[in-house]
Structure 1
Amino acid sequence: MAQAATKAQPAAYAGTLISAESYLTEPADLWQQALPAQWRDRGPQVTRGARGDQFEIDGVAPRPLGLPAPLTQLSRIGIDVGAGYEAGCYRQASQDRDGAARLAWQRAAGLAAEVLYPTLGLLVTTSPDAQLQQLCCRVYNDWLAAFCAADPKRLKGMALLPARAEMADIVAEIEHAAALGLAGVVLPARHAVTPYNMPAWDAAWAAMQAHRLVCAVHLGPEEGAALSPTGPGAGGILLSTGKYELNEFLQMIVWGAGAQRFPGLRFGLVGSGAGWLATQINLMDHWWSDHKGWMEPRLAHAPSHFWHQQGFATLRADTAGLATRQIIGTQNLLWGLGPDAATDALGSELNALPDTDAAAIASGNAARLFGIEI
């Protein structure tokens, strides 16, 4: 009897790997230990709730840590998915106890370097209190800098910015991040008091440009919070459309001419993949071509020019993003491990690309953007 053929496993990608989107698990008591004493009862903490560990910060409903980010929004529209998920238990990963442990984990994982984003820290951006948010960002950024000091060439930390604070305080945190030697800064897709297309942000863009800090806008912990679908399919509608919230920032930084005024600013879209970008890039160019005569502020170039010169997007398993790379720009795509730290799908996707494209997405683009030697 003929033996059934064994399904071939995809070959691992053999080239250099830099994760441009990796996540640290902070100590659960980071803020309780480091915030000024008078702020600790209002500051971030991990507590135990009915559905396992949850994140709490003053002024915001407790957030279950066992649910993926967009699923936490479903209860707003009357959908309860909690029964389908085990109670979450937050623990700091062993590789995140200090920078040396992370470097050892990096070597074992076959990574040349990582760009590091927060886990609990992203939830700080939901705080309605500007001063509390500012203090929490400072605590995280100081902890992150100490973590990355083990090898700043391989551990590229992204500082949190208090987007609800006064612009002078946001700029002060940018200056602090630069002084700490961090690689860039993180802004939330939502929760900024001032919309990102407003000239008030010029002070922040100027500071980032002056210090050559990469600006990453993260999809954030409240993905889908701006949506309130009802009726049949409401859950799927919310989950699927929430991924496009980063498009709003892209439109604002380009049409608001922030990218034009600050050509040295490098901005990125993190957490939503890249497959959707091709349609938006083409659409923006269409409207600019047909209507640039009346649009204000005037853009000297098509919107795609500013994206290709200054923008980037991270992606993991993203067939659509790779298939449309000629429109998005191969040079604008950066591979990252993501929150699940999985490389399983990487080999089959990158090995299908021309060698030069695969090398650029897997490591070359991140190395150029973040100044990593490979």
Structure 2
Amino acid sequence: MAVENNEVGATELPRVISVDDHVIEPAHLFEKWLPSKYRDRGPKPFTAGIGELEYIGGKYRFTTDPEGQVTDWWEYEGEIFPYKRIIAAVGFSRDEMTLDGITREQMRRGCWDPKARLADMDVNHVEASLCFPTFPRFCGQTFSEAKDKEVGLACVRAYNDWMVEEWCGDSRGRLIPLCLIPLWDVDLAVAEIKRNAARGVRAVTFSEIPTHLGLPSIHSGHWDPFFAACEETGTVVNMHIGSSSQMPAASPDAPPAVQASLSFNNAMASMMDFLFSGVLVKFPRLTLAYSEGQMGWIPYALERADDVWEEHRAWGGVKDLIPEPPSSYYYRQIYCCFFRDKHGIASIETVGVDNATFETDYPHVDSTWPHTKAVAEDHVGHLPKDVAYKLLRGNAIRMLDLPFDRGL
């Protein structure tokens, strides 16, 4: 059937702005960007064979083995972190996307080299990309858990300097900086937000559920200075699934496929937390963005939240805290994103044509590279041009205040 005039055809699909991709840190990052007085105590890259893998309580644990597959690692404060094929999966077949170790040389170069990344974005119909960290973990938990917080703070700042000046520096705005904060000290976090905002950064990564990291709850007021700084500077708070260092699972001995299927639960739980916390009431210009959580679950979640607010707000503890239906704060202040979610597209009016953004998840196992244009066409090709434009790039431009055109 021919595409009607008000629909998006494959040849005219707008170039994508991906709000959730990932970067594999180059081996020289901390040697170059960490002040010399901290380098002996900072993260160090090394290459070694990978040993046994254990999956305990939703977390992977690895050992080295001289006879094992050669792998690139980081060592920091006695802990070791290997790079695995599933986090640098682009270029491999589905059956090759395993938990085996991998070296940077075995990866596609775009995983860690910014010029090669831009070339891979060109192949993939992508104009701009926001990248989450790998070794620091999705919101910098690696440094938050460090014993030596002075070095941890220096590592956060070094990572941010590398992100802004090296990873994004020569990309002409196509690589969008996403920075870390020192999660263990809210005053230092505020200072880092302002330091980075002064050089044009408009995105910070944060934990979807801070209490899972042993940090104060968003209900406690502890994070209010951080939220205020983000509101003041126009910095978007980005929360990736797994940024609470755990993924939902059913039975403790369930295979990882169960965890992968339930990953959206983290985003749903976090969004409910924020909708009933009063944070979005107190900070009406604060923007939240949920990454890799998809969006097909959002219509019912909003319906349920509004129903609880209407029917149960007195005993539910939110009668005086949340003056309007929770969904009103979602539509005003929260963005979601998707890459394979046809149920979400079928409900896009309820999800919010102004609230949904697109991602490619490069270079992870879920990535749509190099077929993103075909995947996007399959999802939005039947939609009006203005709606498709918003979903694939327009909402991301508005959310992150990007220097690209803002309409058809």
Q: Which residue of 1 aligns with 2:385?
A: 355
1:366 aligns with 2:396: yes
1 CA distance for matches of 2:14 and 2:334? 24
Decide whether aligned partners of structure 1 residues 56 and 326 sit closer, same or farther in structure 2, where only a CA change above 3 A counts: farther
Name stretches of at least 5 consecutive residues in structure 2 with no aligned partner.
1-8, 52-70, 88-95
Pick the aligned partner of 2:361 from 313, 323, 338: 338
Closer/same/farther in 2, CA of residues 308 and 221 from structure 1, 3 Å limit: closer
Offset at 1:355? 2.4
The counterpart of 1:119, out of the listed 125, 129, 134, is 134
Are the structure 2 counterparts of residues 149 and 33 from structure 1 closer, same or farther at C-alpha, using a change threshold of 3 Å? Answer: closer
Matched, 1:138 2:168: no
Return closer, same or farther for 1:365/1:225 CA change in 2, 3 Å cut-off: closer
TM-score with structure 2 length normalisation?
A: 0.76
1:83, distance to aligned residue in structure 2 (A)? 11
1:264 aligns with 2:285: yes
1:49-88 Cα offsets, whole Å, 9 max, x none, are: 425333443264x34321547xxxxxxxxxxxx9954432
Contact 1:55–1:63 (8 Å) recurs in 2: yes
Q: Report deviation, 1:316.
A: 1.0
Check the 8 A contact 1:269/1:314 in 2, yes or no.
yes
Q: CA deviation at 1:95?
A: 4.6
The share of aligned pairs that are identical, in percent, is 23
2:245 is aligned with 1:245: no
Number of aligned residue pairs: give it.
350
1:224·1:242 contact (CA, 8 Å) conserved in 2?
no
RMSD: 3.0
Q: Output the amino acid matched with 1:331.
A: D
- The answer for the alignment partner of 1:198 in structure 2 is 220
CA distance in 2, matches of 1:110, 1:63: 32
1:6-155 to structure 2, matched below 5 A, reads 11=10, 14-37=13-36, 39-47=38-46, 48-51=48-51, 52-58=71-77, 60=79, 62-66=80-84, 68=86, 85-91=99-105, 94-95=109-110, 102-103=117-118, 105-122=120-137, 124-127=140-143, 128-129=145-146, 130-147=149-166, 148-151=168-171, 153-155=173-175
Contact 1:223 1:242 in 2 (8 A): no
Residue from 321, 337, 349 that aligns with 1:314: 337
Q: Secondary structure at the match of 1:185?
A: strand
- Extract unaligned runs of 5+ from structure 1: 1-9, 70-81
C-alpha change, 1:105 and 1:242, in structure 2 (3 Å) is closer
Q: Is the 8 A contact 1:145 1:157 kept in 2?
A: yes
What secondary structure does 1:216 align onto?
strand
Contact 2:45–2:74 (Cα < 8 Å) also in 1 = yes
1:72 paired residue number? none
User: For the structure 1 residues 35 and 121, does the alpha-carbon distance in structure 2 shift closer, same or farther, using more than 3 Å as the test?
Assistant: same
Match of 1:3 in 2: none
Cα–Cα, structure 1 residues 11 and 188, in superposed 2: closer, same or farther, change >3 Å? Answer: same
